[in-house]
Amino acid sequence: MTPTLRNELLRGCVVVAMMAILSLTAIVPFPIKPNVYLVALVVLAFVIDDLLVFLLFLLGVLAWLKYTPFVTMELVALGGMGMGIYTLRKMLIREPHVLLMVGTLFVFQVIFWALFFGRQIFVVPFFMEFFYNVLILLVMYSVWVWAKRIFS
Amino acid sequence: MKYIQFILILICLLVGTSVFATSVFIKKPNFLLGSIQEVFSPVSLDDQRKLIQENEDLKNQLYAGQHTIVISPQETIQAKVFSLYPFNTKNRLFIDKGDQNNIRVGDVVLLSPRVFVGQIQNVTKAASEVSTVFDGGLNVPVRMGSEEVNGLLQGGVTPRITLIDKAKKVHVGDLIVTATKDMPYGLTVGAVREVHEDTLGAFLEATIELPYSINDLRTVFLAR
C-alpha cells in the first residue's frame, strides 16, 4: 500500500467515523433528522480520488445504514447517488470546493426527497434538513482538512 | 469551464427532478409520475389505492352513522333464538316470542338497534318464524353507498342485490341499507362485497358482506 493510498484511507475513515457518530446522536432539538449518510457521501466523493477507496467507503456507509435484513430502495438510491456524485466530480472537478459541495448536496437532497417523499419537496422540513446537512457538511469537511494535515 | 459544466449538470438534475418527480413546477402526466413512483417510492400505487379505498370506507361509515336508523331499546322486544343444531338451516330462524308478546307477521328482526336480520314470517302463541336474507322468498328494496343507489335485496343461499342501474357507481364496501316502506328506513343489511353484471348484462348485481354469522345468533330484537 502506497503512503498516499494509506493517507487517503485514514482521512476517509475519519469522515466515516464522524458520520457513524452523528447518525447515533440526536444532535438537534427539532424533529428533523439530517441525512448524514448523503452528506458523508458528498464529502467522500469530493475528497477521495481513488475509485477503489471510494467504493470501499461507499460500501462502508451503506453497510452502516443497512438496518434491515433485506436491501431497501434507500440503500440502492444512496449507492447510485454516491457513484453519480463521484463520477461527476472525478470528470469535472480537481480540487474539493465547498460551494460546489453544498450545491451538489442540495440537488441530491432534492432527488432523494423526490424519490422517497413524493410530490411536496420544497417545504419547511426540507429546508431545515438542508440547513442541518450543510452544517454537518462543513464540519465533516473541516475535519477532513484537519485530517489531511495530520495524515499527509 | 469544467466547474461551469459541473454546475450545469447539477442544474439539469435539479430541473429534471423537479419536472418529472414533483408537481412543484409543471403538472406532468400521471402515468409518468405513477411509473416513477411505482419503481422508487416506498408507498406503492397499491398502497395508495388501499388508502383511497380506506378513505371511501370511512366516508361510508360516516354516512352510515348519519343516515342509518337507530331503534331505541324501548321500541324493541328482545328474543332468544332457538337452536336448530345439528341442522345448518340458514333461511329460517325460530325465536321464543310470539302472539302473546304482540309479535306480528312483518315485524322486523334486528341483531342490534340498526342491523337487519330478517322479517317475521309466521307467528304462533309463544314462538315465531323469521325469514332471513338466506330465504329465497325475501325481496327487500335497498339503497347502497353515499349516492344511495337503488337495488333489490334478493334472499337465497347467496343473498345478493339485483337490478342495480349500470350507470350508477357502486363500490366494494358500500353500505347497504333497507329502503322499503314496510320497515324502518336505513337498517343496515351489510356491505357490498363484489359487483358484477347480471347474466343478461342489463343490470349490475352485488354480493353482500353480512356483519354477522347467522349460526352465531343467540339473541335478536324485534321492531315494528
For B153-211, how does the pLDDT look when each residue is reduced to its tens digit (9 = 90+)?
Answer: 998 888 999 999 888 888 888 899 999 888 888 888 999 999 988 877 788 999 999 88
Answer yes or no: do B163 and B181 share one domain: yes
Answer yes or no: do B136 and B50 share one domain: yes
- Give the separation between CA B178 and CA B176, rounded to whole angstroms: 7
The arithmetic mean of pLDDT across residues B39-65, rounded, is 65
Gap from A105 CA to chain B (nearest CA, Å): 10
> Which residues, at least 6 apart from B123, have a Cβ–Cβ distance to it below 8 Å?
B98, B99, B103, B104, B105, B129
In CATH, what number is assigned to the domain containing residue B47?
A: 2.40.10.340
Amino acid at B224: R
The dihedral built from the CA positions of residue B3, B4, B7 and B9, taken in this order, carries a sign that is negative
Band of the pLDDT at B63, cuts 50, 70, 90?
low
pLDDT of residue B67: 56
Answer yes or no: do B51 and B2 share one domain: no
Answer yes or no: do B18 and B101 share one domain: no
The domain locations on chain A are: 3-150
B51 touches A: beta carbon within 8 Å = no
Give B119's DSSP letter: E
Task: Report CB contact under 8 Å: A120, B22.
Answer: yes
Answer yes or no: do B16 and B107 share one domain: no
The dihedral built from the CA positions of residue B172, B174, B179 and B185, taken in this order, carries a sign that is positive
Task: Report CB contact under 8 Å: A114, B7.
Answer: no
Answer yes or no: do B51 and B124 share one domain: yes
pLDDT of residue A24: 76
Answer yes or no: do B5 and B98 share one domain: no
Residue A116 has pLDDT above 80, yes or no: no
* Residues A35-90 pLDDT 10s: 889 999 999 999 888 888 899 999 888 888 776 666 677 888 889 999 999 998 88
Mean pLDDT of the residues in chain A: 84
* Residues above pLDDT 70, as percent of chain B: 76
**Minimal Cα distance from A123: which residue of B?**
B24
- Residue A117: exposed, middle, or buried by beta-carbon count in 10 A (0-12, 13-18, 19+)? middle
Q: Are B118 and B131 in contact, with CB atoms under 8 Å apart?
A: yes
Answer yes or no: do B34 and B85 share one domain: no
Tell me if residue A18 falls in helix, strand or coil: helix
A24 touches B: beta carbon within 8 Å = no
Answer yes or no: do B97 and B207 share one domain: yes
* Residue A134 C-alpha from the chain's centroid: 11
Band of the pLDDT at B26, cuts 50, 70, 90?
very low
* Residues above pLDDT 70, as percent of chain A: 90
ipTM of predicted complex = 0.74
Q: Which is more confidently placed, A95 or B68?
A: A95
Tell me if residue B130 falls in helix, strand or coil: strand
**Cell numbers of A76, please?**
440502492
CB pairs under 8 A between A and B: 59
Band of the pLDDT at B32, cuts 50, 70, 90?
very low
Task: Report CB contact under 8 Å: A88, B40.
Answer: no
Tally of domains in chain B: 2
Q: Of chain A residues 78-137, which have a CB less than 8 A from chain B?
A: 88-89, 91-94, 97, 100, 103-104, 106-108, 110-111, 114-116, 118-122
Q: Which domain does B186 fall in, by range?
A: 42-224
pLDDT of residue B208: 92
Which positions in chain B touch A68 (Cβ < 8 Å)? Answer: none
Which positions in chain B touch A122 (Cβ < 8 Å)? Answer: 24
Spell out the alpha helix ranges (H) of chain B: 2-21, 30-40, 45-67
Answer yes or no: do B31 and B57 share one domain: no
**Cell numbers of B44, please?**
406503492
**Minimal Cα distance from B15: which residue of A?**
A107
The arithmetic mean of pLDDT across residues B121-139, rounded, is 89
Answer yes or no: do B32 and B99 share one domain: no
B12 touches A: beta carbon within 8 Å = no
Answer yes or no: do B33 and B90 share one domain: no
